[in-house]
C-alpha cells in the first residue's frame, strides 16, 4: 500500500515491482490529486507559459503504472487514517464518496509536503493560491485565463516565490514580491549573495518589498482585493503564497509513526520508519545533513526520487541506502542563475562551526570568449581545518551548475587546500584558465592560512 | 632565471616575487616568442574570428611584469644551453644577434611543448603550420589574409585539429580533416563517443577522412599545393598540423636534467627536478595520473598555471604541492560539447584494470523545459570494486562542464554505487530530476552488481 502517487511513492512502487511480480506482491497507490509522478518543480514554467502543456510535466501517467507495472493506482482517493494495529488504512473516495478500510502488509508513506499557509484574516479567499501539487498549478493557470488578473502579489522570497514572480511577469502581470527577509532567498543564500538576486528581480520589473510582513488580505465578494502588510496595503487581483512548505505528517503522526526532531517522519538509511513494515520517503521525511550531521527536511524532487527508489528496493527484498544530503539547490530567475550547497555562513555559525568566507568575482568563460559573463562564487570553510562547509554561486548562464563540483567535494569532506589542486575542465568556451571554483577555493585556502598565522 | 614566459614560467615568477621582493631576488624571464602569459588554447578562436584582437588572448603583457612585479622579461631571446656546473644559461638575442652567458641561483624551466611535425617530404613548405605558440596563431591569421587560401587540410583529429577545422570553416574555407584514427579524438574518447563528434563535424561541413595517414606534401614554388595520404592526394592551399605536441625537453635533456619515463622532465610534488635549485612546470614536465598511478605528460594551460604557481611558492620559500591530474579535458566543436576525465576503456585496459562501461542517453535539462538537448554520458568503472575509472560526455550546450562533478568524484576514488547517492543540483532549467550523471552512475552500479552476480 502506497500513500501518495508522486516521486517517492511511485519510485518505491516501481522498484518494488521490479523485484516482486504481481503474483507475489499486490501494490495499491492512493493519491488525493489527479496525477501521478509529475514534476512539481515544473509548475512555475507551466504557469509562465514556458511549458504549454501540463501533460509535459507528468513523467508517467497512471495508465503506465496500471498496464505496464500492474500497480493499482487510485487517484482522487485520500487516506484519512492509518491503523497500525489492524494494519489497514481508511480510504476516502473524493469523487464517488464513501470510505473503506484497506488492509496492508507493507506501507509506504509518501505524503509529501504542504505549503505553509498562515492563519491570516482572509487567507481562504478566492484568488489566493499555494503552490504544491500539480492541481495548484492548474488552478492558477485557469484563474489567469478566467479572471484576467492584472496585479499580482507574491508572498515569500524563496525559490517558489521567485520562480512564480517570474512566471507572472512573463504572463504580463504587474508583480510585487513581499518578502519578510532582508534579501531574497534569505533561507538559502547569505545576504551578500541574495543582493545579487534582488538586482535580477528589479531587472525583470518585479517590485521587490524586502523586510515586509503580510498581515492579512482584504476581500470583496469572497475574492482577494488587497494584501495588508507591515508597511501598508497593496492592491492585488491574485496572490501566490510561496512561504515554503512543511512535511505533510499529520496522517503519520496521528497513527503513531514517530517523527524526528526536524518535524519530518524519522527514517533510517534504508527508509524504514520506526514501525516494522512501514516505509517513508520524499518531502515528508527527514534526512541527515552530511555537513552539520543534523536531521533536516529538504523538499526536493531529486531526493524524493532517490528515497523512493531506496525504499522500493528494500521493500522488494533488495538492499539500498540513502546516504543523506548536503543541501544542494539551484534556481534560475530570468537571466540570474543561483545555486548553493552545504551551509551558508548563518547555518555554519548556527551549527557551531568556527568558519570564514570568501567571495570572488570571475567569469563563466575565458574573458575573451564571446558570452563570457560575470559570476560570483562564495566559499564557506572551517577556520582551523580548512574543510569546505558550503558554497554559493550567483551568475549568468553557465554559472550555477558548477555547484555540482563543489557538492561532490563537500560530500568527500575535502579541504579548500586540497580542492585548489582539482583537475577541473578547462577550455576557453567553458572557463577561464583558472576556473571560478578553483579561484574561490584558492582564496579560501589563503584565508585559512592567514587566519591561522594570525593566531600564532 | 625563468626559461619560457608563458603560463608556468610567469606564474612561478609572480609567486616567487610575491614572497621575495626585488632586493632579495632578481628575476629574469626569457622567451623566444613575442608574448608573455597568453592563452594558447585561444588560438583557434583568434584564427576563426571569434576573438578579433590577438591582444585579448594575452593575460598579462610584459610591461605589467616589468613595472608591477620588477621581473626582467626578455622576449625574442632564446636560451640555447644550460650549464648546470657553472649554473649559467647561454642566451641568444634573436633580433639583436649575439649571445651571452647569464648566471642563476635558481632556475625555472617552463619550455612548454613543441608540435609534432613528422619528417615527411615537403613538410617545411610555406603554408604548412603547427599550432603551439601565439606567434603560430598570428602567422596563420596573416596567411589567411594575405594568401587567401580556399582549400584547407587539417591533419590530426585531436582537440587542436578539430578546433582548427572549425575555425577554418568559420573563415569560409573548404576544410578536409585527415585523421589516422578511426574516429575523431581517438586518443581522448572511446570510439562510440568519438562517433558522435564525427556527426558534429559532418554537420558543419568538414570532409572527414578517418583512418587515413599523411605521407607527404606536394609543393610548388616552395608553397604547399597538395597533401599526399595513404588513400590518394588532396589539393590544399593551407595545411594545419594538429598532430599533438610533445614536451619541449631538448634543452633540459642536453643539460643533464633527468627526464621521466613518459618523456617529460621528472619533477616531484613541489615541482623540483632532480637537480638542486632547478624547478620545472607546464607542458614540459610529467605529472602523476591519480587513477592509473603512472607518469603522464598532459599539455594544458590549467595544469601549467597550477604547477608554475606551486614552483614559485616553493622557490620563494613557501610550501605547496601539485597533487597530480586525473586527465580531465573539454572541448567544443560548434554545437557539440565534448569532455572526458580519468581513463577511457582503452586506457583502463592498458593500465591493467578489469573494467566495465555503460553509456546512457539523457537530456541537459528537464525534458519539458525549452532548450533541453540530448547528451550521452559514458562511465568506465572497475568491475570488482565498482570504483569510478573514467567518464566521457558528448552533447549539446550545458553537457560538457558536468564532467567536473565526475572529475571530483574520481579524485576522491568514489565507487559508482556511492556516487549514485550524490546530492547534485536539480531544477528543470538545469537538469532532469535524475541528473544524467546520476542516471549513468546508477546504471554503472547496476552493471557492477550484475557482473558480480554472474561470477558466483
Predicted confidence (pLDDT) per residue in B307-332, tens digit = 999 999 999 999 999 999 999 999 99
How many helices (DSSP H) and strands (DSSP E) are in chain B?
A: 12, 25
Could you say which of A50, A328, A437 has the minimum Cβ distance to residue B425? A328
Contact B284, B264 (CB under 8 A): yes
- Beta carbons within 10 angstroms of residue A249's beta carbon: 24
The burial class, CB within 10 Å (0-12 / 13-18 / 19+), for B172 is exposed
Euclidean distance between CA atoms A317 and A303, whole angstroms? 21
- Tens of pLDDT, residue by residue over B44-91, are 999 998 888 888 888 888 999 999 999 999 999 999 999 999 999 999
- The alpha carbon of B379 is separated from its chain's Cα centroid by a whole number of angstroms, namely 22
How many contacts (CB atoms, under 8 Å) link A and B? 196
Compare CB distances from A421 to B322, B405, B409 and report the shortest one's residue: B322
**A76 backbone φψ class: left, alpha, beta (φ>0; ψ -120 to 50):** left
Q: How many CA atoms lie within 13 A of B49 on its CB side?
A: 9
Q: What kind of fold does domain B117-243 have according to CATH? A: FAD/NAD(P)-binding domain (3.50.50)
- pTM score above 0.90: yes
Rama region for B236: left / alpha / beta (φ>0; ψ in -120 to 50; rest)? beta
What span, in angstroms and rounded, lies between the C-alpha atoms of B219 and A195?
Answer: 63
CA angle B55, B58, B64 (to 5 degrees): 105
Please answer whether residues A331 and A386 qualify as being in contact, where contact means their C-beta atoms are separated by less than 8 angstroms: no
Give the pLDDT score at A93: 97
Tell me the per-residue pLDDT of A273-331, one tens digit each, with 9 for 90 and over: 999 999 999 999 999 999 999 999 999 999 999 999 999 999 999 999 999 999 999 99
What distance in Å separates the CA atoms of residue B162 and residue B48, rounded to the nearest whole number?
12
By percentage, how much of chain A surpasses pLDDT 90?
A: 87
Q: Which residues of B touch A426 (CB under 8 A)?
A: 41, 300-302, 330
Contact assessment for residue A38 and residue A59, using Cβ atoms and an 8 Å cutoff? yes
As a whole number of angstroms, the distance between CA A432 and CA A264 comes to 43
Q: Give the pLDDT of residue B158.
A: 92
Residue A251 φ/ψ region, left for φ over 0, alpha for ψ in the -120 to 50 degree band, beta for the rest: alpha
pLDDT band at residue A442 using 50, 70 and 90 as cut-offs: very high
pLDDT band at A456 (very low <50, low <70, confident <90, very high): low
Radius of gyration of chain B (CA): 23
Mutation test of the interface with chain A: which of B167, B427, B429, B431, choosing the one with the most A Cβ atoms within 10 A? B427
Q: Tell me the pLDDT of chain B averaged across its residues.
A: 94
Separation of alpha carbons A370 and A368, rounded Å: 7
- Say what the ipTM of the complex is: 0.94
Nearest to B401 among A42, A339, A430 (CB): A430
Q: Tally Cβ neighbours within 10 Å of residue A334.
A: 16
Question: Is 3.50.50.60 the CATH classification of the domain at A329-455?
Answer: yes
> How many angstroms separate the CA of residue A188 from the nearest CA in chain B?
14
Q: Which CATH class is domain A2-114+246-315?
A: alpha beta
Q: Report the pLDDT averaged over residues B327-353.
A: 95
Kindly determine whether residue B339 and residue A425, on different chains, have CB atoms separated by under 8 Å: yes
Instruction: Identify the band that residue B163 occupies on the pLDDT scale cut at 50, 70 and 90.
Output: very high
B400/A368 Cβ within 8 A: no
Q: What is the grid cell recorded at B127?
A: 603554408
pLDDT at A455: 67
Chain B contact set for A404 (CB, 8 A): 402, 404-405, 424-425, 435, 437
Q: Is A41 a catalytic residue?
A: yes
**pLDDT of A85 strictly over 80:** yes
Exposed / middle / buried, residue A155 (Cβ in 10 Å: 0-12, 13-18, 19+): buried
Inspect the interface and report whether the beta carbons of A326 and B423 lie closer than 8 Å: yes
* pLDDT band for position B455 (cuts 50, 70, 90): low
B337 three-class SS: strand
**Are A423 and B327 within 8 A, CB to CB?**
yes
Whole-angstrom distance, CA of residue A307 vs CA of residue B298: 41
CATH 3.50.50.60 in chain A, residues?
A: 2-114+246-315, 117-243, 329-455
pLDDT of B134 reads 87
Calculate how close chain B gets to A102, using CA atoms only, in Å: 32
For residue A130, what is its C-alpha cell? 499555494
In this prediction, residue A334 has a pLDDT band, given cuts at 50, 70 and 90, of: confident
Measured CA distances, A412 to A173, A348, A377, B327, B435 (Å): 45, 18, 20, 20, 19
Are the beta carbons of A182 and A315 closer than 8 angstroms? no
Q: Which CATH superfamily is domain B2-40+54-113+246-315 in?
A: FAD/NAD(P)-binding domain (3.50.50.60)
Q: Which residues of A touch B305 (CB under 8 A)?
A: 433-434
Residue of A nearest to B53 (CA): A368
Helix H or strand E segment including B279: strand B278-280
pLDDT score, position B456: 57
Q: What residues of chain A lie within 8 A of the CB of B43, using their CB?
A: none
Q: Which ranges constitute the DSSP H helices of A171-300? A: 191-203, 250-255
Q: Provide the 10 A C-beta neighbour count for residue A376.
A: 18
User: How far is the alpha carbon of A160 from chain B, nearest alpha carbon, in Å?
Assistant: 11
Residues of B in contact with A321 (CB under 8 A): 421
CATH of domain B336-455: 3.30.390.30
What is the rounded distance in angstroms from the CA atom of residue A217 to the CA atom of residue A215? 7
Residue to substitute from B313, B404, B449, interface A, most A β-carbons within 10 A: B404
Q: Which residues of B touch A427 (CB under 8 A)?
A: 41, 159, 329-332
B125-150: average pLDDT: 93
Ranges of CATH 3.50.50.60 domains, chain B: 2-40+54-113+246-315, 117-243
Out of B42, B401, B434, closest to residue A401 by CB? B401
Between A132 and A67, the more confident residue is: A67
Amino acid at each position: 500500500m502506497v500513500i501518495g502517487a508522486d516521486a517517492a511513492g511511485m519510485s518505491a512502487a516501481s522498484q518494488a515491482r521490479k523485484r516482486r511480480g504481481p503474483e507475489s506482491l499486490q501494490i495499491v497507490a492512493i493519491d488525493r490529486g489527479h496525477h501521478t509522478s509529475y514534476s512539481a518543480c515544473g509548475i512555475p514554467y507551466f504557469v509562465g507559459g514556458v511549458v504549454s502543456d501540463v501533460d509535459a510535466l507528468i513523467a508517467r501517467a497512471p495508465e503506465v503504472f496500471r498496464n505496464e507495472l500492474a500497480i493499482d493506482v487510485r487517484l482522487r482517493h485520500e487516506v484519512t487514517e492509518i491503523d497500525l494495529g489492524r494494519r489497514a488504512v481508511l480510504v476516502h473516495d473524493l469523487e464517488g464518496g464513501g470510505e473503506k478500510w484497506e488492509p496492508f502488509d507493507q506501507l509506504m508513506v509518501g505524503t509529501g509536503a504542504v505549503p505553509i499557509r498562515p492563519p491570516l484574516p482572509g487567507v481562504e479567499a478566492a484568488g489566493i493560491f499555494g503552490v504544491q501539487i500539480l492541481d495548484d498549478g492548474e488552478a492558477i493557470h485557469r484563474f489567469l485565463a478566467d479572471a484576467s488578473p492584472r496585479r499580482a502579489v507574491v508572498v515569500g522570497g524563496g525559490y517558489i516565490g521567485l520562480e512564480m514572480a517570474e512566471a507572472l511577469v512573463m504572463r504580463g502581470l504587474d508583480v510585487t514580491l513581499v518578502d519578510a527577509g532582508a534579501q531574497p532567498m534569505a533561507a538559502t543564500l547569505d545576504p551578500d549573495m541574495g543582493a545579487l538576486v534582488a538586482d535580477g528581480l528589479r531587472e525583470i520589473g518585479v517590485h521587490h518589498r524586502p523586510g515586509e510582513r503580510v498581515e492579512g488580505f482584504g476581500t470583496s465578494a469572497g475574492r482577494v482585493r488587497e494584501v495588508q502588510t507591515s508597511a501598508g496595503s497593496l492592491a492585488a487581483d491574485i496572490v501566490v503564497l510561496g512561504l515554503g512548505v512543511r512535511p505533510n505528517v499529520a496522517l503519520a503522526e496521528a497513527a503513531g509513526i514517530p517523527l524526528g526532531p526536524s518535524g519530518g517522519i524519522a527514517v533510517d538509511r534504508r527508509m524504514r520508519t520506526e514501525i516494522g513494515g512501514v516505509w517513508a520517503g520524499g518531502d515528508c521525511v527527514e534526512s541527515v545533513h552530511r555537513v552539520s550531521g543534523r536531521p533536516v527536511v529538504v523538499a526536493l524532487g531529486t531526493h524524493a526520487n532517490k528515497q523512493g527508489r531506496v525504499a522500493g528496493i528494500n521493500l522488494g527484498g533488495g538492499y539500498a541506502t540513502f546516504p543523506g544530503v548536503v543541501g544542494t539547490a539551484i534556481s534560475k530567475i530570468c537571466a540570474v542563475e543561483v545555486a548553493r550547497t552545504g551551509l551558508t555562513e548563518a547555518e555554519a555559525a548556527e551549527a557551531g562551526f568556527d568558519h570564514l568566507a570568501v567571495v570572488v568575482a570571475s567569469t563563466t568563460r575565458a574573458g575573451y570568449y564571446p558570452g563570457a559573463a560575470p559570476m560570483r562564487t562564495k566559499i564557506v570553510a572551517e577556520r582551523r581545518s580548512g574543510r569546505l562547509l558550503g558554497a554559493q554561486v550567483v551568475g549568468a548562464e553557465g554559472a550555477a551548475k558548477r555547484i555540482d563540483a563543489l557538492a561532490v567535494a563537500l560530500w568527500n569532506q575535502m579541504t579548500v587546500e586540497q580542492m585548489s589542486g582539482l583537475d577541473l575542465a578547462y577550455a576557453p568556451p567553458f572557463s577561464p584558465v583558472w576556473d571560478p571554483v578553483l579561484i574561490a577555493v584558492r582564496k579560501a585556502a589563503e584565508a585559512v592560512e592567514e587566519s591561522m598565522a594570525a593566531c600564532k
